[in-house]
Amino acid sequence: MHSGPCRPAVSPAASCWKAPNRRRLSKRWRPSVGRLSGAQVEALRPLGLSTQETFMKIYPSRRQLLAALAATFLFGGAHLAQAQTPWKPTAPVKIVVPFPPGGSSDILARFISAGLGEKLGQPVLVDNKPGATGSIGSTFVYGAPADGMTLLLGITDANSIYPHLTHTRYDATKFVPIAPLASTGFVLLGRPDLPANNLQELLALMQKEKLSYASAGAGSGPHMMAVAFTRAAKADNLLHVPYTGMAPALTALMGKQVDIMLVAVGGAAQYRSKLKFYGVTSAQRVAAVPDVPTLKEQGLDIVGEAWMGVLAPPNTPAATTAAIAKAINEVTATPEYKAKVVELGMSTLTGSPAEFGKLYLDEYRKWGDLVRDANVKLE
292 and 243 share one domain? yes
The pLDDT tens digits of the residues spanning 334-360 come to: 999 999 999 999 999 999 999 999 999
**Nearest Cα to Cα of residue 158 among 39, 308, 258, 376:** 308
Same domain flag for 166 and 258: no
Q: Report, as an integer, the average pLDDT of 354-375.
A: 96
Contact between residue 150 and residue 313 where contact means Cβ atoms under 8 Å apart: yes
The answer on pLDDT for 35 being more than 70 is no
Looking at the fold, whether 169 and 179 belong to one and the same domain comes out as yes
Q: Are 289 and 277 in contact (CB under 8 A)?
A: yes
Q: Which of 84, 107, 127 is the last residue of a domain?
A: 84
What's the structural domain count of the chain? 3
The answer to whether the CB of 133 falls within 8 A of the CB of 158 is: yes
Same domain, 203 and 132: no
pLDDT at 86: 82
pLDDT over 70 at 58, yes or no: no
Q: Using CA atoms, how far apart are residues 272 and 275, in angstroms rounded to an integer?
A: 6
In this structure, how many other beta carbons lie within 10 angstroms of the beta carbon of residue 29?
14
Residues near 53 by Cβ (< 8 Å), separated by ≥ 6? none
Is residue 63 within 8 A of residue 117, CB to CB? The reply is no
Q: Could you list the residue range(s) of the whole structural domain that residue 16 is in?
A: 12-84
Greatest distance between any 2 Cα atoms in the chain:
105
In the chain, which ranges are continuous DSSP H helix? 38-44, 52-58, 62-84, 104-120, 135-142, 199-208, 221-232, 246-254, 265-268, 318-332, 335-343, 353-373
pLDDT at residue 146 greater than cutoff 90: yes
Percent above pLDDT 70 for the chain? 78
SS3 191: coil
- Return the number of other C-beta atoms located less than 10 Å from residue 247's C-beta: 11
Distance CA 348, CA 181 (A): 6
233 Cβ contact list (under 8 Å, min separation 6): 203, 206, 300
Q: Could you say which of 273, 305, 337 is where a domain stops? A: 305
In a domain, 151, yes or no: yes
Task: Give the pLDDT of residue 10.
Answer: 30
The domain boundary, picked from 288, 305, 322, lies at 305
Q: Are residues 238 and 332 in the same domain?
A: no
Question: Could you tell me the pLDDT band of residue 142, with boundaries at 50, 70 and 90?
Answer: very high
Strand partners, 308: 155, 182
CA 82 vs. chain centroid, Å, equals 27
Tell whether 6 is covered by a domain.
no
Give 53 or 157, the one with higher predicted confidence. 157
pLDDT score for 60: 53
The verdict on 299 and 199 lying in the same domain is yes
Model confidence over 188-226: pLDDT tens digits? 999 999 999 999 999 999 999 999 999 988 889 999 999
Say what the pLDDT of residue 41 is.
44
What is the average per-residue pLDDT within 320-342?
A: 96
In a domain, 117, yes or no: yes
At 378, is the pLDDT very low, low, confident or very high (cuts 50, 70, 90)? Answer: confident
Do 175 and 315 fall within a single domain? Answer: yes
Instruction: Name which of 69-73, 228-232, 266-270, 278-282 the model is least confident about.
Output: 69-73
Kindly state whether residues 312 and 285 are assigned to the same domain: no
8: confidence class by pLDDT, cuts 50, 70, 90: very low
Could you tell me if residue 345 is left (phi over 0), alpha (psi between -120 and 50 degrees) or otherwise beta?
A: left
